[in-house]
Amino acid sequence: MTDRPVVRSGPLRYATAERFARPRPAASEAPAGPVGAVCPQPPSRLDAVMGPPLDPRPQSEDCLHLAVTAPEGRPAPGSPGRPVLVWFHGGGFSSGAGIRDWYDGTSLAAEQDVVVVSAGYRLGALGYLLLDGVSEGNLGLWDQVEALRWVRDHIARFGGDPGNVTLFGQSAGALSIRLLMDVPEARVLFRRAILQSAPLSLATQTADEAHELGRVFAAHLGTDPRTAAPERLLAAQALTAAEQRRRTGSFLAPPFGPVCARGPLSSTTGPPAFAEGAPDVLYGWNADDMSAFPEGPQDTGSVAERTRRAYEIPLTALRRELESAGAEVYGYRLDWRPPGSPYGATHCVEIPLLLGSADAWRDAPMLGDLSWQEVDAFGRRVRSAWAAFAREGNPGPMPAPMIAWDS
């Protein structure tokens, strides 16, 4: 396939929201400022693995922004439009932003003739605090629903087919997509899903747990969360995270994240699993995912053992659940270990294979000694598989060293 010239539009404001309120839709091309802001957040705990972001951006609660990367020119005559892939970033529900240069979809759109949308959502206490009289929780998930509504209403103007939308995301973004499968308002807005290293067993809370952490947060804050300065919210968030680690012995689960009212991966309103039917799914994990995280009192063992517990076992169980619901499911395990990297096939290492550029990833320790030409050569094959799944529902053969996982 010949690479096409593309245009990256944005940041565009897809919604607005008052603090601790659900989002409201914005106009189709509402500007987000010349740079675009990211949700107030601390430094990522994965900076040592990914490197810090190289595109400095202001922090603001006016952060419900997205970027669209689309090939120039009209889709093929008679076509409803190009397949659309919508990216939700990871970051433990506490860091990251869809408009970061890491998540630029230029290569994916140019090579595969698809439209790529990367969307941000509220993080930490601003997105996931559950506190009576203040916040209902799961606001970051409702931001994602609003981003998908924006795609439904406006993506045709960028040459995309609103009837052929595939969600793809990594870590917290992948967990978000799994949760959106259970939300009727979201499920009607996408057709397929790609889950990259979804931490299904780690990053959801019961309502009781979330209420308790909300009270801990309020005590550390010591003032009204609705009017406190963002800096004070982040300071109280850090103290809440430290207290949660002491209580649970886990260094992995974030203090603020999706709230599940009825067992693992049920939405707060309790609809049946896989609202409106299960989507077809491509899922997988990286062989050394847990090399990015330190051992904790409740998470000991080798990297392989911890990766199996955190990713392989719960994702394999999800596969069985999806297939029982009639979905087509494809699995993979990424064994790509860049020479010179101490992390191996670690958490996040597949992202440069899909999104971003040499400039965005030039200081990423996880890429070791590889040249960008070597990264991009393998990435082209991975991007082809992801686009084939989005276009046809079948990724085809997995490119080595990414193995198909069918157990």
With contact defined as beta carbons under 8 Å apart, do 380 and 111 qualify? yes
Per the domain annotation, does 76 fall within a domain?
Answer: yes
> Whose structure tokens read 């094959």?
381
Angle at 268 (CA atoms; ends 265, 272), nearest 5 degrees:
60
Number of Cα atoms under 13 Å in the Cβ half of residue 198:
29
Distance from the Cα of residue 29 to its chain's centroid:
23
pLDDT at position 270 over 50? no
Provide the domain limits for residue 400: 6-404
Classify residue 392 by burial, with Cβ atoms within 10 Å: 0-12, 13-18, 19+: exposed
Ramachandran angles phi, psi of 264, nearest 5°: -60, 130
| 207-221 helix and 230-248 helix, angle to the nearest 10 degrees | 130
Tell whether 1 is covered by a domain.
Answer: no
pLDDT of 262 higher than 50: no
Query: Residue 391 pairs with which residues in a beta bridge?
Result: none
pLDDT of residue 267: 36
Mean pLDDT of 267-275: 53
More confident residue, 94 or 74: 94
Look-up: residue for tokens 């793809």? 168
In the chain, what is the greatest distance between 2 CA atoms, to the nearest angstrom? 61
Kindly report the CATH number assigned to the domain that includes residue 295.
Answer: 3.40.50.1820
Residue for token pair 């509220």: 122
Task: With respect to residue 118, please indicate whether it lies within any of the assigned structural domains.
Answer: yes
Tell me which amino acid residue 239 is: L
Q: Say which residue, 209 or 203, is predicted with more confidence.
A: 209
CB 366: neighbour CB atoms within 10 A?
Answer: 27
Cα→Cα distances 396→81, 326, 332, 387, 390, Å: 22, 19, 11, 10, 11
Helix ranges restricted to H, 222-343: 230-248, 303-307, 313-324
Are 338 and 366 in contact, with CB atoms under 8 Å apart? yes
How large is the average pLDDT for residues 215-236? 97
The beta strand positions in 146-278, using DSSP E, are 160-170, 192-196, 205-206, 259-260
pLDDT in tens, 159-174: 999 999 999 999 999 9
pLDDT band at 132 (very low <50, low <70, confident <90, very high): very high
Name the nearest CA neighbour of 183 among 261, 121, 262, 274.
274
- Domain membership flag for residue 302: yes
- What's the total number of domains in the chain? 1
3-state secondary structure 127-145: HHCEECCCEECCHHHHHHH
**Which amino acid is it at 300?**
T
Above pLDDT 90, what percent of the chain? 81
Q: Within a domain: residue 194?
A: yes
Question: 184-194, pLDDT tens digit by residue?
Answer: 999 999 999 99
275 pLDDT band (50/70/90 cuts)? confident
